[in-house]
Amino acid sequence: MAERRFRVIVCRGPECGDKRDSRSIHAAFVAQIDARGVGHRCELDWQSCFGRCSQGPNVLVRELPAAVQAPRRFALADLPPSRGGGPRLATALYNRLDPVKVVEVVASHVVQGTVVGRFIERPDALVKPPGEPDV
């Protein structure tokens, strides 16, 4: 069975990047991905904005479909997941991340494929934290 692969996309938009220092989040992912030795199966990238600015810094961790490899013998298990079927890919948009939370996201989501649900907010739960200005 192929190793699970992930793509981590850190928002660098005006709210996440300029006001909430998503650069430190990106740096924490670089360090954790390196420390856990998963760089060969985890891509790290930037995004300009996810449209969830008031809940930032936001980071999308997306599991990538397994690459189709040339099987020695054809088997249904070798087929990539079809639309509406196949294994569910572990994908989540994390909100209000900080470098401490990044440690757990990498350990759980990237290493084990388990989403960290408590770092995810509902899109309609746009309640600003105390002291935060309106976006």
The stretch among 8-16, 25-33, 70-78, 85-93 that binds ligand FES (CB under 6 A) is: 8-16
Which tokens belong to 103? 């440690």
How many CB atoms lie under 10 A from the CB of residue 42? 22
With CB under 6 A as the contact rule, the residue among 27, 30, 31, 49 that binds ligand FES is: 49
Q: Say if CB 100 and CB 72 are below 8 A apart.
A: no
Strands 91-94 and 59-64: antiparallel
Q: Is 14 in the site for ligand FES (CB under 6 A)?
A: yes
Nearest distance from C-beta of residue 39 to ligand FES, angstroms: 24
d(CA 3, CA 20): 33
- The HSE-up count of residue 126 (CA atoms within 13 Å, CB side) is 9
Single out the residue of 26, 33, 56, 111 in contact with ligand FES (rule: CB under 6 A): 56
59 binds ligand FES (CB under 6 A): no
Least distance between ligand FES and beta carbon 51 (Å):
6
* Site residues for ligand FES per CB under 6 A: 11, 13-16, 49-53, 56, 58
